[in-house]
């Protein structure tokens, strides 16, 4: 697993962004940027060279599902691994995310072990950097 | 059924008799009579409903509770929930600050204890440690315990970090309730405007009742002064 991967963590609750950042750091990933909404995240993704996106669903400006669709619609970002980390656990939303091209889905409250497992599963499908 | 018989009985009887006699003119006259009775019944019911609605509206207009709800209590509820969100956010961040500050020392102590324990045991085997067996045993036990306990503290700190997740989950629920309250507030405002023409809109009160702003809160020294005036 490449520990130099550049992560973008998107959540409208700053405490959650901080928790995810801490968990990623414990897993060895120190390059973690934060954004508070899909709206602020998209320009960062388009401008920066992020390797991984972790996003919440419910955000006031641009919800995570819309961010995911925008990423998949952009030729420069279409292949970006995206993991949704959200309290939304309704079946139709999970299906919607899967159909929109999400790579992983973790429901809150989560454990570091679950996050690691889902990340590993996505890394296994990624081409080496 | 008795009421229906009383209302329609005679007209229907005339209708049936006209039908039996095969009297076309009498039949249609009787039919008109039945329809007239029916229309009169519907009008009576409408009059009754209109009177009930009018008195309900009058009670509605004079009910000051509606004004209180729309102009004070519902906006206050919104402000209170906003305050809860702020408080939990501040508390969660403060907890995260302290955890992030405490984890490195806990980690360092554990690591150093482990390193020292290895060196101590190696010194013991090569004859470099103190001869007193009780002392050697105590130091060995102590270093092992420090290594173990530091790891335990570190793990617990990480667990505390993760539990701050409550702030996100509870915050989302609170925001959902706040959205609902905002809709209710708007609906009530429209209702009050329609039914209480001329009432002043006092706007939402930014100071949360019974939970004062920092400026309004009485500090400990002021409490002590006040109590001392009662010789407490």
| pLDDT > 70 fraction of chain B, expressed in percent and rounded | 84
CA angle B151, B154, B158 (to 5 degrees): 140
Section B219-229 average pLDDT: 68
pLDDT in tens, B182-194: 888 888 888 777 7
Mean pLDDT over residues A105-121, rounded? 91
C-alpha A103/C-alpha A119 separation (Å) is 9
Nearest Cα residue to A82 out of A45, A129, A114: A45
In this predicted structure, the answer to whether residue B222 has a pLDDT above a threshold of 80 is: no
CB contact under 8 A, B161 and A22: yes
Question: What's the pLDDT at A31?
Answer: 95
**Buried/exposed B44-78: b ≥16 CB within 10 Å, e otherwise:** eeeeeeeeeeeeeeeeeeeeeebbebbbeebbbbb
User: What number is the average pLDDT over the span A80-105?
Assistant: 92
Give how far A108 is from chain B: nearest CA, Å. Answer: 8
- Give the closest of A14, A19, A58 to B161, CB-based: A19
Lowest mean pLDDT among A32-46, B44-58, B105-119: B44-58
Task: Give residue B209's pLDDT band: very low, low, confident or very high (50, 70, 90).
Answer: very low
- Would you state the pLDDT for residue B200? 47
Q: What is the mean pLDDT of chain B?
A: 84
Distance from CA of B142 to the nearest CA of A (A): 28
Please list every residue in chain B whose beta carbon sits closer than 8 Å to the beta carbon of residue A108: 165, 168-169
In the stretch 137-196 of chain B, residues with CB closer than 8 A to chain A read 158, 161-162, 164-165, 167-169, 171-172
Q: What is the model's pTM?
A: 0.68
Return the pLDDT at B196. Answer: 66
Instruction: Pick left, alpha or beta for residue B129 (phi over 0 → left; psi -120 to 50 → alpha; otherwise beta).
Output: beta
**Cα nearest neighbour of B172 on chain A:** A58
Pairwise pLDDT comparison (B52 vs B212), residue with the higher score: B52
ipTM: 0.78
Q: In this complex, is the C-beta atom of B210 within 8 Å of any C-beta atom belonging to chain A?
A: no
Residue B215 has a pLDDT of 45
pLDDT tens-digit map of B75-131: 888 899 999 999 999 999 999 999 999 999 999 999 999 999 999 999 888 888 788
Q: What is the mean pLDDT of residues A97-124?
A: 91
State the pLDDT at residue B220: 65
A11 vs chain B: nearest CA distance in angstroms?
9
> Domains in chain A, start-ordered, CATH in brackets?
7-122 (3.40.50.2300)
Asked whether the beta carbons of residue B172 and residue A26 sit closer than 8 angstroms, the reply is no
Residue of A nearest to B157 (CA): A22
d(CA B139, CA A50): 50
Give me the percent of chain B exceeding a pLDDT of 90.
Answer: 45
DSSP secondary-structure letter at A2? -
How far is residue A5's CA from residue B84's CA, in Å, rounded to a whole number? 37
Smallest CA–CA separation between A75 and chain B, in Å? 33
Token representation of residue B185: 């507030």
pLDDT confidence tier of residue B201, bands split at 50, 70 and 90 = very low
pLDDT surpassing 50 at residue B207: no
Bond before A93 cis per omega within 30 degrees: no
Which of A13, A64, A110, A112 best probes binding to B when mutated, by most B CB atoms within 10 angstroms? A13
């Amino acid at each position: 697993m490449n520990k130099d991967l550049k992560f973008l963590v998107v959540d409208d609750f700053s405490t959650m962004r901080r928790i995810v950042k801490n968990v990623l750091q414990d897993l060895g990933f120190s390059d973690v940027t934060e954004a508070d909404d899909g709206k602020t995240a998209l320009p960062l993704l388009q401008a920066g060279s992020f390797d991984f996106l972790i996003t919440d669903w419910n955000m006031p400006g641009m919800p995570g599902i819309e961010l995911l669709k925008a990423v998949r619609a952009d030729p420069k970002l279409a292949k970006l691994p995206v993991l949704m980390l959200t309290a939304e656990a309704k079946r139709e939303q999970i299906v919607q995310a899967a159909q929109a091209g999400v790579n992983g889905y973790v429901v809150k409250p989560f454990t570091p072990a679950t996050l690691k497992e889902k990340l590993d599963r996505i890394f296994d499908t990624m081409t080496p950097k | 059924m008795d009421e229906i018989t009383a209302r329609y009985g005679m007209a229907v009887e005339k209708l049936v008799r006209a039908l039996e006699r095969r009297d076309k003119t009498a039949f249609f006259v009787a039919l008109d009579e039945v329809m007239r009775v029916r229309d009169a019944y519907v009008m009576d019911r409408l009059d009754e409903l209109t009177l009930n609605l009018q008195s309900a509206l009058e009670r509605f207009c004079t009910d000051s509770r509606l004004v209180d709800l729309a102009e004070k209590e519902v906006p206050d509820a919104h402000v209170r929930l906003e305050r809860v969100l702020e408080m939990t956010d501040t508390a969660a961040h403060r907890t995260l600050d302290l955890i992030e500050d405490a984890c490195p020392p806990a980690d360092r102590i554990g690591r150093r204890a482990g390193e020292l324990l290895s060196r101590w045991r190696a010194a013991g085997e090569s004859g470099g440690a103190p001869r007193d067996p009780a002392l050697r045993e105590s130091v060995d036990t102590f270093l092992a315990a420090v290594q173990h306990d530091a790891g335990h503290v570190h793990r617990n700190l990480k667990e505390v970090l993760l539990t701050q997740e409550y702030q996100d989950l509870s915050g989302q629920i609170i925001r959902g309730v706040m959205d609902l309250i905002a809709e209710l507030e708007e609906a009530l405002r429209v209702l009050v405007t329609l039914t209480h023409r001329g009432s002043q809109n006092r706007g939402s009160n930014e100071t949360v009742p019974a939970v004062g702003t920092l400026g309004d809160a009485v500090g400990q020294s002021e409490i002590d002064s006040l109590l001392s005036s009662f010789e407490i």
